[in-house]
Structure formats: C-alpha cells, structure tokens
Structure 1
C-alpha cells in the first residue's frame, strides 16, 4: 500500500516492469517478476523512496534471465543498453538508443561500466574510463548544467545543451574561448542547432557573429518566419520547436547544396563561353593576319630571256 512515507507501491512497479517489456502490468508473468523485483527496488531506494525509478533498471537487469524463461524475451531497454555497449558512438543507432534510454538509462549504463568501457578500435578493443564515456556520450540534464557552468553560462540555458555531442561541445568551447568559427559540417541535427542557439541566448555568441554557421542562421530565420523567436522567445516554446522539427536543418542544407551546385554549374558554363570566345578571337586574328600577309606580297617580276 502507498503511504506518505513510502511513495512506491506494487502497482507502480508492475506498470514499470510491463512497460519495460511492452506488456500490460497485469500480465501474470509480470506478477511473478514483481514478487522478485519489488522488494529489491524498495530496498535499493530506501534512502530516497521518491527516486525508486533510478534504482529500477539496476534491479531489473538482474532478472532478464527469469524474464526470458517466462517468455517475455529481451526488452527494448536491454537492447538499447547493448547498443550503447557495442556501437560506435558516432553511429545513428547509438544516438537513438541513448535518446530512448534517457537520463536514467544513461546513468545506469555509466554505473555498470564504471572503471572500464569497451570501445572499438579497428580490429582491437580497448578500455576507456567512465570519465571518457561521460565526455563522449550525449549530455544528460546534469551534464548540460555542468557544461553551461564550465563556460560561464547560466544553468537557465542548460536545456539547450541537452543531448549535445562531444564534437559540438568542443566546437562551442572553441567558439567562446578561442573565437573559432563553428563549421557547417559540425551541425548534423537539431540538437547541434540547439547548442548554438543556447550559446547565443546566453550572450556568449552574437547571432550575427561570423562564428555562427550559415545553416544555423537560416534555421533561425525560418523559425522567426513561423512565429518563433529562437533568441528572445520563451525557452520551452523554442525547445519544443527544435524537438518537433528535425527536418528543418536537412531542408536548409539541401537548399544550400542546390544553390552551390547551381553556382558551380554557372561558373563552368561561363568558363566554357569565355574559352569559346577566346578561341574564336584567336581564329579571327589568325585569319586577318594571313589575309594581311597575302595582300602585302608583291607579284614576282616576269623573267625576260634575251635572245641573241
């Protein structure tokens, strides 16, 4: 039973287990798992009952084998954890798994891999510290706050850095600390756009600064045209727009690529025309010279033979 001292009950945990495996919490198989899991979750969260969700994944991982025996199979969560363990951190699959797991899942992953974390390196595999893992994985809520503080940015803007990649964190640092431009190739999705907007909203980078990539400037322009001011508007509204419109960046980049291709095509055409004109002028000049030389030649005097 739920009470004011222990904000955790079996129904909540059963629902959590059901969601973990994609079945109803009332499923008889979940009831069997609940008998094992609930006491451990309750014990693990005894110091902070309200935070029992954070303890859940650690306990649940211990009973994956039992779940399989009950016919529940491998959960999406477990597949995502395996993806984080084995995938290259630059792969889309890694980002997708990290996004589905959220903060709790990433914390669980970091905890079970504390001290060592396998990472591909050609045909060999090595280990990196959990600190290295934290540097390379997308920023969690706490990580985003830490990143903001590191750059002297108010935590009020931290939400714009959530999910930020290691590459973009370095790019933002370099832009703020070393006045280095952020190249367009660094902007791969709207989370990267969000990080630049966060730096602009904080006042660390100006909107019209040459350091800001053209793709981000164009997304900002489109947002304003649609009634959302990414720099001065409500932060929740801006974040919702960025989350709900992942296609905007791709559209901007496609348009830029088309214009660049058209420009290159026109330049090539102009070059061909110039070359053709030059060749024609050369031919005309050669003909005129030939004609002039022919006109300047005097006819040879007739040969007179003296007859004796």
Structure 2
C-alpha cells in the first residue's frame, strides 16, 4: 500500500502543478474541499494556447499570400511607374532605320488612292446608263451629281498623294543626313501646306488633265452625241483667273470619233485585244491569226501606225468590250426607232 500511496501522491503533485500553471486562467481560487472533485473537473492544458498560436501563424501566412486584388493593385502601381509622360518626353529625331516604316506608310497612302481609282469604271458605266435614259431635268441633275462625285474622287486622291509626298520628303531629308526633329509636326504641316496649294488651283488645273476624268466625260458625250468627236475637255470647264498662264491650253486638241471597228475585219470588235505598244485594238481572233508564228513581232495593222509588237503585247480590254456592246445597243435602238418612224409615215 505504501507504493500505492506514493504513486497517489505523485499523481496529486502533477495535478497540483498543472493547477498552479493554470491558476491565471481562472477568476476564482479553488477551495480545499474541492480537491476530491479534481477528477471530475476537466483538465486544462496548453493546447488552447497552442491553437491560438497556430491560428496566429495561419493568419500571418494568409496575410503573406498575395490575393488577386493585391496583384491588380501592384500591377496598377507598376503601370503608374512605367507610364510615359508624353508632355515631358523629349522629342527623338528620325533615324535611318525608320525609313522602311516611312516608306511603307507612303505606299499605303498610294494603295488607298489606287483602290479608289478602281471605281472609275463603274462611275463611267453609270454615267453612260443615265445619259442613255436622260429625258428631262431629273436625269440631268443626276448627271450633275455624278460629275461632282467624279471630281470628289480626284480631290481625295490628290490629298492621299500629298500624304505620300510628304513622307517621301522626310525620307529624302534623312538620306541627306539632315536631322528631322518633331517629325509629327513636320508631317502634319507638310500635308496642310500641300492641301493649301491644291486648293489654289483652278478647276481646269485640277481636273482637265486627269485621264480617268476625260474618259468619264467622253463616255457620256458619246452617248449624247453619237458619231460626233468630243471637243477638248477644257470646253466643258469655264476658264478662271490663273488659267491664262497654263501653256497646256494651247496643246488641247479636240477628240476623235470613237471607232469600234476592228482595223483588220472592219467590223465591230469582238473580244477585243489592245496593244500595250501602240494602244490600237483588234478583234481577238483576227489579231491572233495575223502572227505567222508565236513570239514573232509584226507591224501594227492599224493604218498609219509604224509600231511593231508581239502577240504577248496584246491584252484583253474589258472596258473597251463594254463600250462596244453599249454602242451596238444604242445603234440597234436607233435603227428600231427609225423603222418605227418609217412605218408611221
């Protein structure tokens, strides 16, 4: 029993020590008569404190892990730091390695001008169609509106070309070793100056020498005045102050009556081919049979032409083919009207 008693005392000692350690936790001291109920009272340990410590560490780690919002804030701060202050950013002169960029931009302007120019054929066809059906003031008003569209296309094309010219001028300065600073201001100023110079031109100077415009006017005139040669384009544009100094006015000659007959067959052109050497056109089959052998050059069959060309120089002419068909349609209509008048008489 002494052994048991000794063990009991040790156990009590351990419990007392535990109680001593935890007495700060309790608000009331324990009475002596409560010792016997020590077994019933839940033992207090350091685990809650450890859990508090663990929770504190977990919270600390949670705060250490950046959230998505924190990352966005950091990214915004980084962007704020890296953002360039354009107003205070020093101007940088153009470098030679930037010439390719300037050249490509200039080409883009010219490509846009060429793209717009591709619509001249449609504009010419619409003008011819309106002229064929014109029978009053309304149709004439439509032709006037179409005329303005044609001039607007030339004006827009001139502005696009001015952009390309200014960029090409910047390239030339760089090639010459000139320092080009404030390139943006120089570019904008150059385009504005070019537009001012264009605006000073007279109507004749803007449009009379444009080949697409001449072709447009010729297509309409041909419908309105069949079998009549079109006069010089300047006859359609009143003279203005400044035209007196235009030396090319003296060189303007009247047009010629459009002949849609093949110089070889002397009949209307069929599937026409046009020589890129002299500009004369022929029925496709007729000119093909004029060459003794492939690759051989022959003298142009058109009367008065001394040029020579190969079959490879003759290209299909879709625009001319449309004109021939329109001419044939008008001729057939005129013949029908003439027959109808004879029957009435």
Superposition TM-score, scaled by structure 1 size:
0.24
Of structures 1 and 2, the one with the larger relative CO (CA 8 A, separation 6+) is 2
Structure showing greater Rg: 2
